[in-house]
Structure 1
């Protein structure tokens, strides 16, 4: 045999190894371990894994690679299927369903039972809707309508993680149909690889466009995610062209894992995603796949192989456990986190061993008809269970303790005119009034002002007086303030318009400024939002990447200048910050009753003082400069060295930092000080 023939044989052997046509690939299985553990550690808040959500992107690339392999190997093999091939469309769909459905169905039924024990009626109904969407593989569409993946509301949805299964399933439905149509044109792999690449380019363009303008769509929906799966498929099709020597392949793998690790370490919830940034882990994954290292130190070890084998079930079970950590306030406790991660792995193994493996066998049946019948039965059963969950709890809400129901109801103890009077975004400000016909006070500020405006109404000295509502969500009372990325933000110009209007209102009418000023200046205190919004979101003259002295001085000057401008016309009062408790008070207390734990929420007075020092100093400067008067709720809301989230055993907040109507009315005596002697 000549040298040229030996090289050609070697080339074909390496191409076969890369394409996976010789069977199981340990590198792909090990890569699954990297993907699932990065997601798990991210969701449990483990330090250093702020970008662990890229594990889903890794899964997408792997899925595209493997699905293309299954379809094209079947089409290229001679048999009795499509166009004389061995590929069967129905077999492909059934195989995917047998792989995905059993463990998902068991998880859904488990959550129905668990939800009956720990969820409130509105939450239980929401779980039912999520179950229907998850088993029907359209949960990504439903979540796209409801909330961002990184929002607080999303973090309490037990089936949030099924959005990625929906994306993959939708891809699985469309991919073979598209390939079969194109197969009529050409069976050449290079032709199909080119089509995959063109499709990926279009999808990536959609992803990059919508990552800024419609981030929820970009994150959840197939058109903006398909490029990741298509690039995996394109790599499989072009595998015969990527034949490298052993040394090059080792370095390609190192570079690939380097890009993956970089993504995990450097990206976080504030990163625009997926879009251009997702190219980093995607290309890292492609490099690992193209290197085809079957004895890699990164992926071939027993632990990596075991985790990879169980990765789907681990992924399914880890997220409900992470949500459970939130329910019992264990997200920030290392011992709880460790147990949660360990349970994710153990339950994943149990699911693989006793659900996935036997489930595939049971759903296979003796014939294709039997398989379809069994699968449809599972789909219908789980869907019906989900539907009943959306309805049944309306009749059995008394299953929960009355105290828990009472605490949970505080979530809705808000101004009944809030939707009408408290504007968001670019809405036209209605300038509502509460009370009588004669103007008695003006309340201006953000959502914290909106939470207290009715308490000001209740403090008015007579029924003929009214309160004018100048509240605007996420809008501190600072003239000409801007948002770093929201072009629709109208806060600064709205405050200026209010200032102009105030010149024409009776000068005896006091103006009360209420803001959650700490958020706009020193940042959020909620653990998740600290990461998501690390950099300042607002500015006056120039954007700042960090909350440095220059930024804080500029914001402080803006607060003082604005208050003093209003003070030229009338008495101005500034309310000291309401304690921010970082944990949803009514939910925590209600769940505490259900779980038999202490769900009460509080912070120490020292903690409050440290966090609000900048705000208090700013307000004191305004008082010294132009006579602004200070109203302090702390003597009412805090005592014995602590600021509590409840009063007389009931919540006084409707979330973690906004006072409910019950809580706001505790401050009526404080607001009455404004009108004494008038």
Structure 2
């Protein structure tokens, strides 16, 4: 690969603009996340050119240095990433609560080790902070690329050493592409988090770029065809931005569209194109890495300040993104790269390692000290602390695919009540324990995250059957228990009917994620009827053997209560989080009707939390300035105890 490709640099500009505008919520860029896929293809093309351009040249095998390759990548990636991490750790000291600061410190370490994609994949659970709270979430793509950089040249060198045949290398590249693409399509269906974050399901995008480089000479188009090819390529990229959104399973087969578009632009190789050759495109392309690094924390900052969606704040943030990106590119990327290149390879390794340690050690100290408490006034700390005031046995006791047999107990030796449901049940279970008429009694915990208490319930895109199997086991085991023991059913039921109501998860609303018979593409009347009947049938089945109580829906406040209140307090403002009773009733109308029918048809007793959590025509997220939620919809231990008098009615 010879010379600087202005078309590739301009293509970088398109990619970074798409990603940035998507994350800032600019209308028309709902599929802007495909910019990362474009970057992956470009990286594969360039890295293959660096490696094979030397390996495949006669009598120049020794000219490729694996150490030199790694050092070049480190000089390119690490300095700007380090500068960002330093800035975030400093800002975090003044503005992040302990749990967020500890999370940031952890993510700094994983980003510098280039394993953040694995970390974010493993964090992708129900109780994990929303993605928009993670200041280094975007570093997952850097980790994927770095892992590719580590493995790819070794594989190519070994293969070339064993079988120095160009055709053989091409066949293996194609085989790797096909295998990775197949994995991506298959795993996106059953485990979208793994498919999104992990190298095996992303490698095909980089290998697509590798194949373009490998076969570029055979496929080089004539000038007229190249122009058409480029236009078609950009059409596919733009169509991807317009047609896809956050609700699109990704990467999967859909990612083939922007990847193919990028392949076409690379094959066209038009250095004088008006689409990529303008001064603006070239400037954006050169600074694209630093722009990418800085845009996401600024987007998170808008959410922190409750300004996400404000057009003026968004415009200012976009301008600041460009400014910080330019400063980082000019004074960090270029300056440090030049400085490091003046040293020998061994010295570069030592210097880079020392610089990484300079950041990693403070980050590790923050992590070890659990985010360093005491940085804020006591009243502010108390607000933030409520986010962690959840059931301390939650992780131990809530069911999952890996917990085939349910059954934690809270209290004494004798069974007093069975609690069944999802994470909302888990959040009130200790309040139920406090409502028991005797300390000798205990609560039996049969809860599983993200699964409504409905027989036969399934999750779209998952084939593990965890929800369905869990409730089969629960029902079978319940038949073995004393019929005098009451049962309490608690679910975030309207979330399964209507989808989440948090503003940042609006893209998840159109397509139902749960079903009984067949998946639904939208929330039709038949979907509502089937889900309502599922609630009724399940509750009635349990009620044949014991008294069954069902908690009406807990108010969902849309915003993370401790974070919103705590951040407002940090900025010297007072704020309260609430929804109107009218909003509450509208949100839960469909679920309420199903619960009413269960009460009428099976004698289920309903427990209404509104008198304990609502007043003055509003449902509140705090009492006397202290939150009663850990997030937007889960009651904290403080909030759960407000319902203890309500739960005592089960034992009257």
Provide the TM-score with structure 2 as the length reference. 0.90
The one of 309, 325, 328 equivalent to 2:286 is: 309
Say if 1:61 and 1:228, in contact at 8 Å, map to a contact too. Answer: yes
**1:590 aligns to what SS in structure 2?**
helix
Deviation at 1:159, TM superposition (A): 1.9
The one of 46, 57, 67 equivalent to 2:47 is: 67
Say if 2:54 and 2:61, in contact at 8 Å, map to a contact too. Answer: no
Q: Given the superposition, is the C-alpha separation of residues 477 and 385 from structure 1 closer, same or farther in structure 2, using an over 3 Å criterion?
A: closer
Is 1:143 the counterpart of 2:120 in the alignment? Answer: yes
**2:314 aligns to what SS in structure 1?**
helix
Query: What is the distance in 2 between the residues matched to 1:653 and 1:268?
Result: 30
The one of 106, 115, 124 equivalent to 2:101 is: 124
Deviation at 1:385, TM superposition (A): 3.6
Q: Given the superposition, is the C-alpha separation of residues 333 and 630 from structure 1 closer, same or farther in structure 2, using an over 3 Å criterion?
A: farther
Query: What is the distance in 2 between the residues matched to 1:71 and 1:430?
Result: 53
- Aligned pairs (5 A) from 1:212-231: 212-231=189-208
Deviation at 1:615, TM superposition (A): 1.6
Give the equivalent residue in structure 1 for 2:643: 667
The one of 488, 505, 515 equivalent to 2:491 is: 515
Query: What is the distance in 1 between the residues matched to 2:58 and 2:118?
Result: 39
The one of 31, 48, 51 equivalent to 2:31 is: 51
Say if 1:513 and 1:575, in contact at 8 Å, map to a contact too. Answer: yes
- Aligned pairs (5 A) from 1:135-534: 135-147=112-124, 152-184=129-161, 192-365=169-342, 368=345, 371-391=348-368, 396-425=372-401, 427-436=403-412, 439-492=415-468, 494-495=470-471, 498-499=474-475, 509-532=485-508, 534=510
- Aligned pairs (5 A) from 1:2-151: 21=2, 23-74=3-54, 82-83=61-62, 85=63, 87-147=64-124
Query: What is the distance in 1 between the residues matched to 2:556 and 2:223?
Result: 58
Q: Given the superposition, is the C-alpha separation of residues 431 and 603 from structure 1 closer, same or farther in structure 2, using an over 3 Å criterion?
A: same
Q: Deviations over 1:489-528 (max 9, x none)?
A: 3434544555566566565544332221111112111234
**1:579 aligns to what SS in structure 2?**
coil
Q: Given the superposition, is the C-alpha separation of residues 468 and 388 from structure 1 closer, same or farther in structure 2, using an over 3 Å criterion?
A: closer
Query: What is the distance in 2 between the residues matched to 1:318 and 1:345?
Result: 8
**1:543 aligns to what SS in structure 2?**
coil
**2:179 aligns to what SS in structure 1?**
helix
Query: What is the distance in 2 between the residues matched to 1:119 and 1:633?
Result: 32
Deviation at 1:115, TM superposition (A): 1.6
Q: Structure 1 residues 42-51 or 639-648, which shifts more? A: 42-51
Larger radius of gyration: 1
Q: Given the superposition, is the C-alpha separation of residues 364 and 588 from structure 1 closer, same or farther in structure 2, using an over 3 Å criterion?
A: same
Query: What is the distance in 2 between the residues matched to 1:427 and 1:398?
Result: 37
Q: Structure 1 residues 350-359 or 468-477, which shifts more? A: 468-477
Query: What is the distance in 1 between the residues matched to 2:349 and 2:427?
Result: 55
Q: Structure 1 residues 516-525 or 613-622, which shifts more? A: 613-622
Query: What is the distance in 2 between the residues matched to 1:150 and 1:208?
Result: 27
Give the equivalent residue in structure 2 for 1:639: 615
Provide the TM-score with structure 1 as the length reference. 0.87
**2:217 aligns to what SS in structure 1?**
helix
**2:464 aligns to what SS in structure 1?**
coil
Q: Given the superposition, is the C-alpha separation of residues 429 and 339 from structure 1 closer, same or farther in structure 2, using an over 3 Å criterion?
A: farther
Query: What is the distance in 1 between the residues matched to 2:499 and 2:564?
Result: 23
Query: What is the distance in 1 between the residues matched to 2:501 and 2:226?
Result: 46
Deviation at 1:380, TM superposition (A): 3.5
Name structure 2 gaps, 5 residues minimum.
none
Q: Deviations over 1:140-163 (max 9, x none)?
A: 343344337997444322222222
The one of 534, 543, 564 equivalent to 2:519 is: 543
Say if 1:112 and 1:389, in contact at 8 Å, map to a contact too. Answer: no
Q: CA RMSD in A?
A: 3.1
Give the equivalent residue in structure 2 for 1:607: 583
Alignment length (residue pairs) = 652
Deviation at 1:77, TM superposition (A): 7.1
Query: What is the distance in 2 between the residues matched to 1:499 and 1:143?
Result: 35
Q: Given the superposition, is the C-alpha separation of residues 34 and 663 from structure 1 closer, same or farther in structure 2, using an over 3 Å criterion?
A: same
